Amino acid sequence: MKIGIIGPGLSGKSTLFRLLTGAGAETGKGGIPQGAARVPDERVENLAKIFKPQKTVFATIEFADFPPLGNSGQISGEMSSRLKALDALAVVVRAHRDPSVPWPAEPLAPDAAFSGFMQEMILSDLVHVETLLSRKKDKRTPEEQKLLETCQALLEDMKPLYAGKWSEDDLPYLRNFAFLSSRPILVAVNLDEEQMQALAYNGRQELMELCREAGYPLIEFCGTLEMEISQMSKEDQEEFMAAYGLKESGIARLAAAAYELLQLISFFTVGEDEVRAWTIHKGTPAKKAAGKIHSDMERGFIRAEVIGYDEFMALGGSLKTAREQGKLRLEGKDYPVRDGDIITFRFNV
């Protein structure tokens, strides 16, 4: 699962990317930097306090840092093919007013910058759908033809394909046709310190309204503050953020929102060796979840011993107590794993 950080020039994309991925980034295909960001999770921290493991592993999510797209330049064919490999998009728009950072074209309020960006993406998809419709007609099934026509109608209406009502059967086709606007979107607004403290900037209401209607999570962060925070000790971080009325850093909020946007959840394995969060899609059955850890565990799956994180903590954080009180549930291969489940897999190979 990979999220592309995209948006107009100089909006703070690379700053956000570096904050998210720290030193672990590398340059991938087409010179586009990519790296993993830790998904903050208080539950993992609490489990680590209980088990004092040698190793604690958080969930991660992959990000890629794109060059500027939209509002200044068009989305080129080459870029759009790279964008199509992504599962979701994080669109960064600028609110901060620092005069030392130039505007690529004219200064735009974040709501206008975001709307303009969406329009360019929709137009790029419209060109794409029209190209598809104009050729290879005989190679398409009637279903595919109908789906493309539905896409065309939405795009002509200036609606992103994400807004369409698609059935489960449509989704693989949509993916194959490689549209941009069919991907889930998260909006990240880069504020200056004053805007952050006041939680006010031009176009904020409009942008919030637009995101609420479309179902896009909206994250506000301040690039310069986040850079300072990232260099502080944990205690200093908390004190500093409290002064801004923040509970979590913008980076932590963004990683968490991205995880949710992709419909990912975590289950945990615990022990003295390792406390670890494992990433699965919502609704993954137990047997398949076991395969995340090791293919032998999936192949030889017998059952899962499960307790939810909250229940575990309510029992004083002891697996022994949980077992004695019969609170470890035995679940079979089809059990849909839930977010926060603490699991021991029994298997036989």
Ligand X SMILES: Nc1nc2c(ncn2[C@@H]2O[C@H](COP(=O)(O)OP(=O)(O)OP(=O)(O)O)[C@@H](O)[C@H]2O)c(=O)[nH]1
Instruction: Return residues touching Mg ion (CB under 5 A).
Output: 13-14
Token digits of residue 330: 């035995």
What CA–CA distance (Å, rounded) separates 268 from 279?
9
**DSSP string of 68-117, one letter each residue:** P-BTTB---HHHHHHHTT-SEEEEEEE----TTS--SSS---HHHHHHHH
Quick check: 10 binds ligand X (CB under 6 A)?
A: yes
Quick check: 67 binds ligand X (CB under 6 A)?
A: yes
Which stretch in 34-42, 93-101, 163-171, 198-206 sits in contact with ligand X by CB under 6 A?
A: 93-101
Angle at 254 between CA 248 and CA 255, to 5 degrees: 95
Quick check: 285 binds ligand X (CB under 6 A)?
A: no
What CA–CA distance (Å, rounded) separates 127 from 133?
10
Binding to ligand X (CB under 6 A) within 167-196 occurs at 190, 192
Quick check: 279 binds ligand X (CB under 6 A)?
A: no
Which stretch in 94-102, 235-243, 247-255, 268-276 sits in contact with ligand X by CB under 6 A?
A: 94-102
Token digits of residue 10: 């100089």
Minimum CB distance to ligand X smaller for 15 or for 34? 15
Q: 90 forms bridges with which residues in the sheet?
A: 5, 186
Binding to ligand X (CB under 6 A) within 204-243 occurs at 222-224
Quick check: 11 binds ligand X (CB under 6 A)?
A: yes
Q: Report helix, strand or coil for 294.
A: coil
Residue nearest to Mg ion (CB): 14
Residue found by looking up tokens 């036989």 in the block: 348
Secondary structure of 139-161 as H, E, C letters = HCCHHHHHHHHHHHHHHHCCCCH
Quick check: 101 binds ligand X (CB under 6 A)?
A: yes
Quick check: 12 binds ligand X (CB under 6 A)?
A: yes
Quick check: 15 binds ligand X (CB under 6 A)?
A: yes
Minimum CB distance to ligand X smaller for 14 or for 263? 14
Minimum CB distance to Mg ion smaller for 13 or for 38? 13
The CA distances from residue 83 to 10, 77, 129, 319, in Å, are: 19, 10, 16, 45
Decide if 35 contacts 62 (C-beta within 8 A).
Answer: yes
What CA–CA distance (Å, rounded) separates 55 from 273?
6
192 binds, among Mg ion, ligand X, none (CB under 5 to 8 A by kind): ligand X
CB of 223 to ligand X, least distance (A): 3
Minimum CB distance to ligand X smaller for 224 or for 344? 224
Minimum CB distance to Mg ion smaller for 14 or for 46? 14
Minimum CB distance to Mg ion smaller for 13 or for 43? 13
Quick check: 82 binds ligand X (CB under 6 A)?
A: no
The CA distances from residue 22 to 38, 157, 320, in Å, are: 10, 41, 38
CB of 289 to ligand X, least distance (A): 37
Minimum CB distance to ligand X smaller for 67 or for 317? 67
Decide if 162 contacts 213 (C-beta within 8 A).
Answer: no
Quick check: 96 binds ligand X (CB under 6 A)?
A: yes
Quick check: 249 binds ligand X (CB under 6 A)?
A: no
CB of 75 to ligand X, least distance (A): 14
CB of 3 to ligand X, least distance (A): 15
CB of 190 to ligand X, least distance (A): 5
**DSSP string of 302-321, one letter each residue:** EEEEEEEHHHHHHTTS-HHH
Backbone φ and ψ for 274, nearest 5 degrees, come out as -155, 135
CB of 122 to ligand X, least distance (A): 21
What CA–CA distance (Å, rounded) separates 92 from 7?
5
Residue nearest to ligand X (CB): 223
Quick check: 73 binds ligand X (CB under 6 A)?
A: no
Binding site for ligand X (CB under 6 A): 9-15, 67-68, 96, 98, 101, 190, 192, 222-224
